[in-house]
Amino acid sequence: GRSGGRPAKLYRFNDSRYRVTDEFAALSPPSVQR
Protein backbone atom coordinates (compact mmCIF):
# COMPACT_ATOMS: atom_id res chain seq x y z
CA GLY A 1 0.00 0.00 0.00
CA ARG A 2 0.97 3.66 -0.08
CA SER A 3 2.26 4.50 3.39
CA GLY A 4 3.72 7.98 3.33
CA GLY A 5 3.27 10.90 5.72
CA ARG A 6 -0.12 11.62 4.18
CA PRO A 7 -3.28 11.97 6.32
CA ALA A 8 -6.04 9.42 5.80
CA LYS A 9 -8.44 12.19 4.80
CA LEU A 10 -6.20 13.40 1.98
CA TYR A 11 -5.57 9.86 0.77
CA ARG A 12 -9.27 9.00 0.75
CA PHE A 13 -10.12 12.28 -0.96
CA ASN A 14 -7.56 11.68 -3.71
CA ASP A 15 -8.65 8.06 -4.06
CA SER A 16 -12.26 9.18 -4.54
CA ARG A 17 -11.22 11.75 -7.14
CA TYR A 18 -9.21 9.17 -9.07
CA ARG A 19 -12.06 6.68 -8.84
CA VAL A 20 -14.57 9.17 -10.21
CA THR A 21 -12.18 10.23 -12.96
CA ASP A 22 -11.52 6.61 -13.86
CA GLU A 23 -15.27 5.88 -14.00
CA PHE A 24 -15.89 8.89 -16.24
CA ALA A 25 -13.00 7.85 -18.47
CA ALA A 26 -14.46 4.36 -18.76
CA LEU A 27 -17.98 5.62 -19.44
CA SER A 28 -17.00 8.45 -21.77
CA PRO A 29 -15.83 7.72 -25.32
CA PRO A 30 -12.14 8.37 -26.13
CA SER A 31 -13.13 11.29 -28.36
CA VAL A 32 -14.49 13.19 -25.36
CA GLN A 33 -11.28 12.80 -23.35
CA ARG A 34 -8.80 15.65 -23.60
Domain coordinates of the chain in residue numbers? 1-34
Would you say the C-alpha torsion 11, 17, 21, 24 has a positive or negative sign?
A: positive
pLDDT-flagged residues of the chain (< 50): none
Among 5, 25, 7, 28, residue whose Cα is nearest residue 17: 25
What pLDDT, on the 0 to 100 scale, is given for residue 26? Answer: 72
pLDDT in tens, 22-31: 777 777 666 6
- Global pTM reads 0.22
At 5 the pLDDT is 64
